[in-house]
């Protein structure tokens, strides 16, 4: 993909700013205390912990060699921003615009957790789907799953990318995914009770979270139903854009078709899993992150300047709503920003 030198320059500048903010932060972001406590108290991996072995080895190695938590944040940040820099630069029509969307939906990973690191690795593995290097792709997915086991779902991305599905076929698939709601929960409960593994542990933990209304991830006054409705509406908006405005371009552009397949698959999974609990819906993030590459395509088919302006207003409004909604769920986790220089 080609873009202007100015756009690339701004892209590199903003990537560097986000990178610095992400590892220089202190006592900010979700699960800060659980990660920090593990770093302080464990010098070798512990099979009893619910952290995956890859993260445990990384944390313990840095604890033993440097004994500095900021170094651990630095390494994880390096993985995240290198992955996004390479993949956005290679595939985005407008890298700066992609960063804007990235910032609006997950704060550009400034406040990352383990799953964000795993998502970044799978996002980078897309380079090898595109190059049809399946073994390298699988290796990166396995590496990501050693950081957060939910990333194993991205192993399906290779065949999904190469599917060519009409709107009629997608509608049939959507009905199938909605119908799956009735047997997914019993299947997950059976799996969590029948096997002793990190996967079954995660499933059991997510079921427990779903059964506790206080742990839905909502802020005061926001119910699980509110989160589900907002999540479904935001996804339907982008689905309509993909299957409406971008459908002809999608069917004639292999790259757009493939990354649209990712987003569509993620949405269908969300519609079938989210009713079980918001925690289950987190697994779709590995596919929905490709929205940052899809949205810039909305401007490719437009010729009228007035319509382009309206589309720009729509996208900025969408991004603003996503940002404000995400921030309002847990404002104290993000603001005020606190760095290592003001512990």
Going residue by residue through the chain, which has 343 residues, state the pLDDT in tens, using 9 for 90 and above: 557 888 999 999 999 999 999 999 999 998 999 999 999 999 898 866 678 999 999 999 999 999 999 999 999 999 999 999 999 999 999 999 999 999 999 999 999 999 999 999 999 999 999 999 999 999 999 999 999 999 999 999 999 999 998 888 988 888 887 777 667 666 666 555 655 556 656 655 665 555 554 444 444 455 567 777 778 888 888 999 999 989 999 999 999 999 999 999 999 888 887 777 666 678 899 999 999 999 999 888 777 888 888 888 988 998 998 899 888 888 989 989 999 998 6
Count how many domains the chain has.
Answer: 1
For residue 132, the 8-state DSSP code is T
Per the domain annotation, does 212 fall within a domain? yes
Q: How far apart are CA 102 and CA 107, in angstroms?
A: 7
Residue 28 in contact with residue 334, Cβ under 8 Å?
A: yes
Residue 201 in contact with residue 50, Cβ under 8 Å?
A: yes
Per the domain annotation, does 144 fall within a domain? no
Per the domain annotation, does 171 fall within a domain? yes
Chain centroid offset of residue 40 CA: 28
pTM: 0.90
Q: Dihedrals φ, ψ of 154, to 5°?
A: -75, -10
Chain centroid offset of residue 68 CA: 27
62: which 2 tokens? 């840095």
Q: How far apart are CA 241 and CA 246, in angstroms?
A: 6
Q: What are the distances in angstroms from CA 12 to CA 5, 82, 147?
A: 11, 11, 26
Per the domain annotation, does 59 fall within a domain? no
Q: What is the pLDDT of residue 6?
A: 87
Per the domain annotation, does 77 fall within a domain? no
Q: Which residue in 196, 192, 198 sits closest to 211, CA to CA?
A: 192
Residue 185 in contact with residue 276, Cβ under 8 Å?
A: yes
Q: Which domain holds residue 182?
A: 163-301
Q: What is the pLDDT of residue 209?
A: 57
Per the domain annotation, does 276 fall within a domain? yes
Per the domain annotation, does 285 fall within a domain? yes
Q: What is the pLDDT of residue 220?
A: 47
């Amino acid at each position: 993909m080609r873009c202007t030198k100015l756009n690339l320059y701004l892209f590199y500048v903003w990537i560097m700013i986000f990178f610095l903010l992400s590892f220089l932060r202190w006592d900010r972001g979700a699960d800060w205390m659980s990660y920090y406590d593990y770093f302080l108290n464990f010098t070798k991996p512990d099979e009893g912990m619910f952290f995956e072995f890859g993260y445990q080895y990384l944390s313990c190695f840095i604890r033993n060699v440097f004994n500095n938590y900021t170094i651990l944040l630095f390494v994880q940040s390096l993985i995240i921003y290198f992955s996004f820099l390479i993949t956005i630069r290679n595939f985005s029509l407008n890298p700066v615009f992609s960063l804007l969307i990235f910032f609006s939906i997950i704060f550009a990973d400034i406040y990352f957790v383990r799953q964000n690191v795993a998502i970044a690795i799978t996002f980078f593995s897309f380079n090898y789907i595109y190059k049809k290097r399946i073994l390298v792709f699988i290796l990166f997915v396995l590496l990501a799953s050693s950081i957060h086991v939910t990333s194993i779902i991205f192993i399906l991305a290779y065949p999904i990318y190469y599917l060519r599905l009409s709107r009629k076929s997608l509608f049939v698939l959507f009905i199938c995914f909605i119908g799956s709601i009735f047997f997914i929960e019993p299947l997950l409960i059976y799996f969590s009770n029948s096997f002793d593994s990190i996967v079954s542990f995660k499933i059991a933990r997510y079921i427990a979270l779903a059964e506790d209304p206080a742990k839905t991830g909502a802020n005061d006054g926001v119910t699980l139903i509110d989160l589900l409705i907002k999540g479904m509406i935001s996804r339907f908006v982008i689905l309509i854009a993909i299957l409406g405005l971008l459908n002809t371009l999608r069917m004639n552009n292999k790259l757009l078709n493939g990354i649209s397949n990712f987003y569509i698959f993620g949405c269908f999974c969300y519609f079938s899993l989210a009713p079980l609990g918001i925690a289950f819906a987190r697994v779709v993030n590995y596919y929905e992150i490709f929205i940052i590459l899809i949205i810039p395509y909305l401007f490719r088919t437009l010729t009228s300047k007035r319509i382009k302006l309206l589309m720009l207003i729509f996208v900025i409004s969408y991004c603003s709503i996503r940002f404000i909604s995400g921030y309002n769920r847990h404002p104290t986790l993000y603001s005020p920003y606190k760095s290592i220089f003001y512990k």
